[in-house]
Amino acid sequence: MRFYDLLNFQHIIICLFPTLIFIILLGLFLGQSHFITRHSEKRKTEICYRFPDGIEDRDAPFPLAMVLVIVGTVLWGFFYILSIGIFEVKI
């Protein structure tokens, strides 16, 4: 038995939440790669630019996985800075 009972609860939360977030994100990534609109199929097949050497550019929809990674990184950075400022932890 540990000296502090709250420490057991903190370890469960630290293990549980990242696992749940991973499962939810994996389900989103496997279910759909981008937000589907009425112009999605047209944007994936229509060629916008042709470059030398046969390179073709399309205006395809931005992948949902990249949106979530970018948003998660920005939110993590914001809350990390905020928590360091509130708790005055010196790195």
Domain residue ranges of the chain, discontinuous segments joined by +:
5-87
One-letter amino acid identity for 47? I
Q: What's the predicted TM-score (pTM) here?
A: 0.49
Over residues 1-20, the pLDDT tens digits come to 567 777 777 788 888 888 89
Give the residue among 83, 68, 78, 84 at the shortest CA–CA distance from 32.
Answer: 68
Report the sign of the C-alpha dihedral through residues 85, 87, 88, 91, in that order: negative
Q: What is the pLDDT of residues 38-67, one digit of tens each?
A: 887 887 788 888 888 888 888 777 777 778
